[in-house]
Structure 1
Amino acid sequence: MFKPQPTKGRREDGVKVEFVYCDGARDDVQLSGDWTDWRAIQMFHEGGGMWSVVTPVPPGAHEFKFIVDGEWKHSNRHPTIGIDETSLNNVRVVLPEPRIESQKTIAEPPAGSIPLSKTSRAASRASDTGSTTGSATGSAAGSAKGSSKSRTSGGSTKKSGGLFRRR
């Protein structure tokens, strides 16, 4: 069946969804569903008895069927809805596409915050030079660095910055 192509710049509504039929077909398979008012969409033979098509479908629950070699059929590989074999349709729930924030929004830190990369580099430089300005452990380490006094107690020598064994 002929399906008009969208004109350049026009966006078809819906989420792109792939439908696959592989329950046996001789020559032709088409997809038909409630979102197209049951108009047929041609499926493409992928080989090995598999037919597929990607088509836009609006978010929500939708019923569909396949037209296999001219005969309406449901697939046993998809969930079904209906009362008996004659009224069964396949059903699929299509979720809306996730909203993705622009890169600019994600890349910019909140107002008044320091970017992580600058903080990491500053901390890295401080640990390389032994200077850890502004931290409680840094001030203790800094004062121990300047102090060369040691106290002896038992079998160990204790320096202000830590415990060292006597040799």
Structure 2
Amino acid sequence: MGQNSSQPDTEAFFQQHQPGASASSSLQDSLREPPEGGTSMETAEPTNSRPEPVPTILQWSMGANAVYVTGSFNHWGERIPLRRSGGDWVVCLNLLPGTYQYKFIVDNEWRYAPDQPTVRDEMGNINNCLTVEDQ
């Protein structure tokens, strides 16, 4: 195909340097053997395998003057305010994958949303329940 002779033959380069080719198999074999007192390279865990937070919307669809949410995602600590959006109240939280229980504080009263999944906790309280999937 008329390649310029000053450019390297890329097809030949990749054919010669494919993983698993006989020229590199001894190198790959040596990487599989753990060094003295060490471990094999193949068993090393990736350092960045931590799950990423997932944007998750919580919504209160009943009427209210002020709405907050708290739950197992923040150890039932801080009351997180929701913002009015049309007739609903919403907040977007960045949550790690997992299952959480939460409850709304609506006009200073603890409430669960009857239109969302619920679960009873160990003390018999009804809380909303949410599972955040890994993306």
TM range (shorter): 0.5 to 0.7
| Counterpart mapping for 1:37-116 below 5 A | 37-38=75-76, 39-48=78-87, 50-82=88-120, 87-97=125-135
CA distance in structure 2 between the aligned counterparts of 1:55 and 1:62, rounded to whole angstroms: 12
CA distance in 2, matches of 1:46, 1:88: 26
TM-score (norm 1): 0.46
Q: Could you tell me how far 1:47 is from its partner in structure 2? A: 2.6
Question: Structure 1 runs of 4+ off > 6 angstroms?
Answer: none
- Counterpart of 1:35 in 2: which secondary structure? helix
Counterparts of 1:64 and 1:36 in 2: how far apart (Å)? 9
Amino acid across the alignment from 1:47: G
Larger Rg: 1
The alpha-carbon deviation at position 31 of structure 1 amounts to: 1.1
Match of 2:59 in 1: 20
The count of residues paired between Structure 1 and Structure 2 equals 82
Identity %: 31
Q: Which amino acid aligns with 2:75?
A: D
1:32 corresponding residue in structure 2: 70
Which letter maps to 1:82? R
2:73 match: secondary structure: helix
Q: Note the C-alpha offset of 1:23.
A: 1.7
Q: Whole-Å Cα distance in 2 between the matches of residues 46 and 17 of structure 1?
A: 16
Higher relative contact order (CA 8 A, sep 6+): 2
Q: Which runs of 5+ in 1 are unaligned?
A: 1-12, 98-167
Give the TM-score of the pair, scaled to structure 2.
0.56
